[in-house]
Amino acid sequence: MLRLFKKERMWRTGDLKPRYDVVIVGAGVHGLATAYYLGSRHGIRSVALLEKGYLGSGNSGRNTAIIRSNYRTPEGIPFYQASVKLYEELSRELGWNMLFSQCGHLTLAHTDSAVNGLRVRAENNQVLGVDSRMIFRDEIRRLVPAMDLSNRPRFPVLAALYHPPGGIIRHDAVVWGYARACDRMDIDIHTFTEVTGMRVEKGKVRSVLTNRGEVAAGSVVNATAGWASIVSKMARLPLQIVSHPLQACVTEPLKPFLDKVIVSATLHVYVNQTDKGELVIGAEIDPYQSYSMKGTLPTLEQMATYTLELFPQLHGLRVLRQWAGVCDMTPDFAPIIGVAPEVENFYMDVGWGTYGFKTAPIAGKCVAELIATGKTPNLIAPFSPARFTTGQLVGEKAAAAVST
């Protein structure tokens, strides 16, 4: 209770030190989680996070914060599941409430083929121990009484994949919680510090150059999401990534009427109502490559159109803000985690596309382990950068369309 009234600084600011054991580029949730697990699990505390903007200014502050593990592939499911488990304990572990609401997550199917696609996920989830099942109109109606389940919509809802542990988290709170915990371990967080280049010698990054000077580094982590290709190029490593904008918007608050996360791939939209009462609506990625973080009218109109297909009664509800983030898309919709043989101390935790918020705890934990021990944890082995040369792609793209 007392803590409620104590005014502690969440994280401090200070000068860049000349050298760190680990320099992490990008203080989004992935960079922060990596730093946190390096410090808390491996005692590596000579760590700096370099962030070009304010804390959480990248996708970690722009996403719709859906957390779930009902993925499709045998590689993906255990990985996402491990992340959900970490999230379930994270508020307590960090002493900071991230408002993780496991309210339940429904992926809707409006066509035969979508029903089959969801069934594959339900089956694989069940075999691998994830709470997930197919439900049909009657049960959907019970769970989401506000949704239009009649035959009026052009593509009526036929079935849904129901994932009770899925839900929503307060994304900024996760960023702040990790940052605070890093700060308490004397890990340095340097905001407004942009990495502009790297000194690479004999297959190693020796130092990173920033707008505030040069910093020597034992290891360097690239955790820059939409900017990952640019930062990797500094280490002379081209990435199999294209960057697309992803947009979302938020409406005025209403009294609670929807307490499930609703996703529809056919309608390219997902919707949930926050604890404050606002509706958060997300779109699929824009069909063109761009680094633009400006919202566009056609995408906003699309989000509105499809939301009204599901909830026609909301036609008078007002949209307050729309925004965009830049997503790093890989060819197989799976991340790139690990080291490339060409530069032995340059670690990548990128390719998170539209779905990487939910994975930060487990990815951070695994990357930290990889840096500390030099051994690749099994959970991330399928996501190694080498797969693009061996052709062993991960099949998560098959389930993608709207994939947050």
Ligand X SMILES: Cc1cc2nc3c(=O)[nH]c(=O)nc-3n(C[C@H](O)[C@H](O)[C@H](O)COP(=O)(O)OP(=O)(O)OC[C@H]3O[C@@H](n4cnc5c(N)ncnc54)[C@H](O)[C@@H]3O)c2cc1C
Residues 56-85 that bind ligand X (CB under 6 A): 57-60, 62-66
Buried b (16+ CB within 10 A) or exposed e, 2-11: eeeeeeeeeb
Which of helix, strand or coil describes residue 359? coil
Q: Which is nearer to other proteins, 209 or 308 (CB)?
A: 308
Q: Which residue in the set 29, 47, 237, 371 belongs to the binding site for ligand X (CB under 6 A)?
A: 29
Q: Which residue in the set 20, 79, 100, 346 belongs to the binding site for other proteins (CB under 8 A)?
A: 100
Binding flag, residue 325, ligand X (CB under 6 A): yes
Count of residues touching ligand X (by CB under 6 A): 41
For the chain, what is the largest distance between any 2 Cα atoms, rounded to a whole number of angstroms? 65
Count of residues touching other proteins (by CB under 8 A): 104
Residue-wise DSSP of 75-114: THHHHHHHHHHHHHHHHHHHTS----B---EEEEE-SHHH
Binding flag, residue 129, other proteins (CB under 8 A): no
How far, in Å, are 27, 30, 175, 189 from residue 192 at the CA level?
Answer: 10, 17, 16, 10
Least distance in angstroms from the C-beta of 350 to ligand X: 7
Residues 140, 179: Cα–Cα separation, whole Å? 39
Residue-wise DSSP of 154-183: SS---EEEEETT-EE--HHHHHHHHHHHHH
List the single partner that 96 binds among ligand X, other proteins, none, CB under 5 to 8 Å by kind: other proteins
Residues 77, 125: Cα–Cα separation, whole Å? 7
Least distance in angstroms from the C-beta of 226 to other proteins: 16
Interface residues for other proteins in 68-87 (CB under 8 A)?
Answer: 74
Please count the other Cβ atoms lying within 10 Å of the Cβ belonging to residue 242: 15
Site pattern 355..374 for other proteins (x: CB under 8 A): --------------------
Q: Which is nearer to ligand X, 314 or 362 (CB)?
A: 362
Least distance in angstroms from the C-beta of 68 to other proteins: 17
Structure-block tokens of residue 392: 């062993």
Least distance in angstroms from the C-beta of 310 to other proteins: 11
Structure-block tokens of residue 161: 């994949």
Candidates 14-22, 52-60, 94-102, 116-124 — which segment interacts with ligand X by CB under 6 A?
52-60
Residues 86, 94: Cα–Cα separation, whole Å? 11
Interface residues for other proteins in 373-392 (CB under 8 A)?
Answer: 391-392
Binding flag, residue 404, ligand X (CB under 6 A): yes
List the single partner that 7 binds among ligand X, other proteins, none, CB under 5 to 8 Å by kind: other proteins
Q: Which is nearer to ligand X, 158 or 258 (CB)?
A: 258
Beta bridge partners of 103: none
Binding flag, residue 393, other proteins (CB under 8 A): yes
Interface residues for other proteins in 232-251 (CB under 8 A)?
Answer: 251
Q: Is residue 211 within 8 Å of 190, Cβ to Cβ?
A: no
What residues contact residue 62 under an 8 Å CB cut-off, 6+ apart? 248, 293, 323, 324, 325
- Closest among 80, 96, 93 to 37, alpha carbons compared: 93
* 264 sits in which H/E element: strand 261-264
Q: Which residue in the set 135, 242, 372, 398 belongs to the binding site for other proteins (CB under 8 A)?
A: 398
Q: Which residue in the set 18, 112, 212, 381 belongs to the binding site for other proteins (CB under 8 A)?
A: 112
List the single partner that 219 binds among ligand X, other proteins, none, CB under 5 to 8 Å by kind: none
Candidates 171-179, 206-214, 355-363, 373-381 — which segment interacts with other proteins by CB under 8 A?
171-179
Binding flag, residue 31, ligand X (CB under 6 A): yes
Residues 212, 196: Cα–Cα separation, whole Å? 10
Candidates 98-106, 298-306, 353-361, 375-383 — which segment interacts with ligand X by CB under 6 A?
353-361
Torsion of Cα atoms, 92 then 95 then 98 then 102, to 10°: 10
List the single partner that 352 binds among ligand X, other proteins, none, CB under 5 to 8 Å by kind: ligand X
Which residues lie near ligand X (CB under 6 A)? 25-31, 50-53, 57-60, 62-66, 194-195, 223-227, 231, 246-248, 282, 325, 327, 352, 354-358, 404
